[in-house]
Structure 1
Amino acid sequence: MIKERSVLIVIILSLITFGIYPIYWYYSITEELSAATNDPHFSGAKALIFALITLGIYVLFWYYIVGQKVAELQRTHNFQVKDNGVLYIVLSIFGLSLVSNAIIQSELNKLVPVVQLNGMNLHS
């Protein structure tokens, strides 16, 4: 299930924790997207390990995958599809990962009610 988070809080926590919160956010978003898209291979632990091993280069690939996963959920739930994976990568390359994170969180927040409703219907 995808958790709704305030975009402003994500930005503020990212700044006041000097980049520690984005690591938690990165893990959480990966786990939530994995569950929402039924993709057990896309896991938060793997993503963090790959990011550490590649000294952060994997995060660029992660942004692309997240763009694909969000677009998949938008398509599944009849939303206008916005595959922003390349945008996330470009922003990140120019040091604007925080902007990418804000856009991702904003897009996920739009999907929360629909994904939760469908999740409850699956378990009923």
Structure 2
Amino acid sequence: MFEKSPISVLILSFVTFGIYGIIWMYKCSEEMKQRGVELPSFILVFIPIAQFLFIWKFYQGVEKLSNGEHTASMLFLFSLLGPLALVSFWQTQTTFNKVAGVAG
């Protein structure tokens, strides 16, 4: 997992009107797949309604990597609430930093 400052993820996502957030989520999903998390194709992010399936599975993977510290249901709920999606980004990147620290 790559280590990155959660604040940089938030700022870059905000400044680029969410484009960085999509790129960040793609990179995260690829690394999660390398760690054995099963995710559907990332292309679902660009298909209305189907994107919810991908996002749900993505946050289930984060829950798995965090050993239940962050629940998929809470992260998914935050991701649906507009600006609160940044909270889910923060918690996800924090989880990845912890996993990278253990692995590295």
Structure-2-length-normalised TM-score: 0.82
CA RMSD of aligned residues (A): 2.0
CA deviation after TM superposition for structure 1 residue 111, in Å: 1.0
In structure 2, relative to structure 1, the CA distance for the partners of 1:85 and 1:71 (3 Å cut) is: closer
Alignment correspondent of 2:96: 108
Alignment correspondent of 1:72: 64
- Which protein shows a greater Rg? 1
Q: Please tell me whether the aligned partners of residues 39 and 57 of structure 2 are also in contact (alpha carbons under 8 angstroms).
A: no
Whole-Å separation in 2 of the counterparts to 1:3 and 1:21: 15
| Count of residue pairs brought into register by the alignment | 103
Which runs of 5 or more structure 1 residues have no equivalent in the other structure? 76-80, 117-124
Whole-Å separation in 2 of the counterparts to 1:86 and 1:50: 19
In structure 2, relative to structure 1, the CA distance for the partners of 1:86 and 1:103 (3 Å cut) is: same
Q: 1:94 aligned to 81, 89, 103, which one?
A: 81
Identity of aligned residues (%): 31
Q: 1:63 aligned to 55, 67, 86, which one?
A: 55
Which amino acid in structure 2 is aligned with residue 94 of structure 1? Answer: L
Alignment correspondent of 1:52: 46
Alignment correspondent of 1:7: 6
Structure-1-length-normalised TM-score: 0.71
Whole-Å separation in 1 of the counterparts to 2:94 and 2:100: 10
- Write out per-residue CA displacement over residues 81-115 of structure 1, whole angstroms, 9 at most, x where no aligned residue: 32511001111222121211111111111111223
Deviates more, 1:58-67 or 1:9-18: 58-67
Which runs of 5 or more structure 2 residues have no equivalent in the other structure? none
- Write out per-residue CA displacement over residues 22-56 of structure 1, whole angstroms, 9 at most, x where no aligned residue: 1100100000000012x5x536xx21x11212x2x
Whole-Å separation in 1 of the counterparts to 2:45 and 2:66: 26
